[in-house]
Amino acid sequence: MSNLVIVESPAKAKTIKRYLGKNYKVMATVGHIIDLPKNRLAVDVEKGYRADFTTIKGKGSVIKDLKKAVPKGKKHDVYLAMDPDREGEAIAWHTAQALDLKNPRRIIFHEITKDAVVNSISQSTKINKDLVQAQIARRVLDRLVGYQVSELLWKKIWYGLSAGRVQSVALRLIVEREEEIEAFVPKEFWDVFANLEDKESKKVKVKAQLAKKEGKKFVPKDEKEVLDLEKDIKKKDFVVHNVEKKETRRYPYPPFTTSTLQQAANNVLGFSSKRTMALAQALYQAGHITYMRTDSVNLSNQAISAIRKTIKSEFGEKYLPEKPVFYKTKSRSAQEAHEAIRPSDFGLKTEIIKQKFGSAEAKLYDLIYARALASQMNPRLVEVLNVIFRVEGVSKKNYDFVLKAEKVLFDGFSKVLTMKSKDAEGFQTVSDIKKDQVFLQKGIEKEQKFTKPKARYTEATLVKTLEKYGIGRPSTYSSIISTVQDRGYVKKEQRYLIPLDVGRVVNSLMQGSFERLVDYEYTAGVEDSLDAMAEGKVKYEPFLDKEYKLLQKELKKAHKEVEKEDVVILGKSDEKCPNCEGKMVERLGRYGKFLSCAKFPKCKGMKGEDLEEDLDKEKYLRPKECPKCKGKMILKMGKYGKFWACEGYPDCKGVVPLLLKEKCPECKSSLVERQGKWGKAFTGCSGYPNCKYIKKHKKASKSQKKN
């Protein structure tokens, strides 16, 4: 009888099987096998917050097969090889409970290589009960908050809404950023440049930007200040006041953590956090990268040795530092994994990954490979040149104009990580400029600009902010962002996260009645407490008891004080009620905004929002009649966006999607805008699945991206 190794994933099982001999059988649980049931609270608050875990639907057969595979006899062992974090520890514990294992062995590895797997067998331990308890505490707390606050949302807004402990904080961030943008008042300013020519040789021509007036920073705030400046320095010569040359070392970034990988994949590759983690999971389970949920930037000595060997052989000794580079982890909670994300084998190139998996996995692997390699390379050496031109105006006031340029002396780590150089006029053009050199004024360029608000969050910047505040952990960033979108609270346009009306309403209720739950410091404090529990420093029941009692107090107050009308009424309207001629208010309903009589429920007069008013009639088709009853069609808002519905609803349920006027080149049906598996919008044929045409969009040029 073989020893049994149990993992979560069939792909992981397949990889591990290659490294273990015939004396080991490897099987998978296919994720969690036990969890809290969805249809009830399943937490006994009277008996120490005991969680009533049950077998997940469909996993009974998995447990049955695993039980049959458990070896009999003392000479054989069962090894639980779940992921090296709290969730993995909990899955291992649940598996041991479900299979009634008496003395299971826990094995942990951060990369699926032969050495790592074989060594983990010889260094097996017991299941870490503290880690398990911390994970169960997280699950129970999230259930208590989510289940009970969601019930309040059903009563005060409408059925089907939900609230989560961490997701509500992310929603707050997104809504508050949008409110900042809406409240922002742009301020005018002007960029001013002087076109200059060397007075003596007439060969050096440069453009310098206005920086100071009388030694103080000066940015003209309106056109009058620009005109006054032009008048003051008209026909005046510019003199080189100072030339500063200095060499600057730019050091490489540390290897990836979960957070920085998600940020880079979003910024560089356009991948969502969810897609990034799915691709990384596939690479990890195949044994090609180390564990992808980590907040550590450490590299093992073995990995550093392999990286240095690769740098020396591929790029030469000049790119290799005398000593290895070590990075300090900034995250205060970096404890769930021991290494940063890196390739398991630096001899495995991107081309092989592309052949094995596809282009998406290959792009992510290349990003991980380059970042890990660059982290152990010499710094980039740059010569920076700052030239200050001074001109004295008629008013005897001095103005400083600045020109900056740089030249790469040694590319260093940027040999593998591309970096742009700031080179205003070409370093060679300006490198010979000397102090006191005189330049003729050949013209002034000016451009009116306005200050801009902070940009909306992208997935990358939201992950960075969540990490900054200590909200969530590496394993949760992806699910947090997916959840607020899946619930319909936030939509993604291009790369930006935008709150929808229902998201604003839910956030308003949460901030008004559950200020504690959506407080950044409180949420980070909960994570710290869970980390402390994982170290055996915080007890399960007292922690949950404190949280539960505070929650009950807030729920009782909210049920009593919050009125539905206070939540769903968005504002007053100038429209008159069609029934009583009285005033109307704008309300938010399940499928968007509408007008209702201010006297509701005494008067039930209402008007739907005129969605057609904002419809691009040059882009979209308007159906002539209902396909079922030939009646008039009205544009409505549904769970998945706008659609055409018969005005005779509910007697007639005729609907038509929002079709484009553009036709499919293959079958001549109308095209339609859709959303892909990873949240990316695309244009496809409305005749799908009979016609599978997808329109290819041209990539924006660099100049278009800048604009």
DSSP single-letter state for residue 614: G
Q: Of all helices (H) and strands (E), which one includes residue 601? A: none
Instruction: Give per-residue burial for 284-307: e unless 16+ CB within 10 Å, then b.
Output: bbbbbbbbbbbbbbbbbeebbebb
Contact yes or no for 606/589 (Cβ under 8 A)? no
- CA distance linking residue 533 with residue 90, whole number of Å: 14
Please say if the pLDDT value at position 74 is more than 70: no
- Mean pLDDT of all residues belonging to the chain: 90
pLDDT at res. 420: 66
What is the arithmetic mean of pLDDT over 310-320? 96
Instruction: Write down the pTM of the prediction.
Output: 0.83
pLDDT digits (tens, 9 = 90+) for 446-480: 999 999 999 999 999 999 999 999 898 888 899 99
**Chain centroid, CA 21 distance in Å:** 41
Listed in sequence order, the residues at least 6 apart from 317 whose beta carbon sits closer than 8 Å to its beta carbon are none
pLDDT tens by residue, 286-311: 999 999 999 889 999 999 999 999 99
Domains of the chain: 3-127 (3.40.50.140), 137-183+455-562 (1.10.460.10), 188-251+380-450 (2.70.20.10), 258-374 (1.10.290.10), 565-609 (no CATH)
Q: What share of the chain is helix, strand, coil (3-state, %, to 5)?
A: 35, 25, 40
What pLDDT is recorded for position 330? 67
- 345: helix, coil or strand? coil
Asked if 149 contacts 157 with a C-beta cutoff of 8 angstroms, the reply is no
**253 in active site:** no
Q: What is the pLDDT of residues 637-683, one digit of tens each?
A: 766 677 888 877 767 888 888 899 999 999 999 999 887 765 567 88
Query: Are the CB atoms for 477 and 259 separated by under 8 Å?
Result: yes
Q: In this predicted structure, which of 4-13, 115-124, 549-558, 600-609 has the lowest mean pLDDT?
A: 600-609
Which residue spans within 416-510 are E strands per DSSP? 438-450, 490-493, 496-499
What is the Cα Rg of the chain in Å? 31
* pLDDT class of 415 with cuts at 50, 70, 90: very high
334: pLDDT strictly greater than 80: no
pLDDT for residue 387 is more than 80: yes
Mean of the pLDDT values across residues 249-277? 94
Beta bridge partners of 638: 641
Mean pLDDT of all residues in 251-277: 94
Is the peptide bond prior to 104 cis by the omega test (within 30 degrees of 0)? no
- Please write the tens of the pLDDT for every residue from 108-121: 999 999 999 999 99
Query: Which among 291, 365, 369, 457 is annotated as catalytic?
Result: 291
Q: Name the percent of the chain lying above pLDDT 70.
A: 93
Give the residue, 567 or 219, on which the prediction is more confident.
219
Q: Residue 129 pLDDT more than 90?
A: yes
